[in-house]
Amino acid sequence: DPRGLYTCTFNKESRSIHLYYRMCQNCIEVDAPTISGIVVADVVATVFLAVAVYCITGHDKGRLSRASDRQNLIANEQVYQ
């Protein structure tokens, strides 16, 4: 704990300072490799999610229409009156 009274002596001259420093108890030190790892993991997760969404929704182009997909709204091609 760096709190306390500090004294500096230079050329037989003494000066004192009372220091109160509050240290963070639950802090996590974040350095450059940690930040770059978080950024890379975020980009990889975003790309994975985009590919998954594309694979799930992107295959409707080649689907052939089935006979059950079409319904005749007017029976026997009659003219609507």
User: Is this model's pTM higher than 0.85 or not?
Assistant: no
E strand or H helix at 15, and its extent? strand 13-19
Q: How far is CA 28 from CA 12, 25, 41, 70, in A?
A: 42, 9, 19, 61
- Look at residue 15 in the predicted model and tell me its pLDDT: 86
Tens digits of per-residue pLDDT, 20-72?
A: 777 777 777 788 999 999 999 999 999 999 999 988 887 655 555 555 556 66
Domain positions in the chain: 3-59
- Look at residue 18 in the predicted model and tell me its pLDDT: 84
Q: How far is CA 64 from CA 55, 56, 80, in A?
A: 18, 17, 29
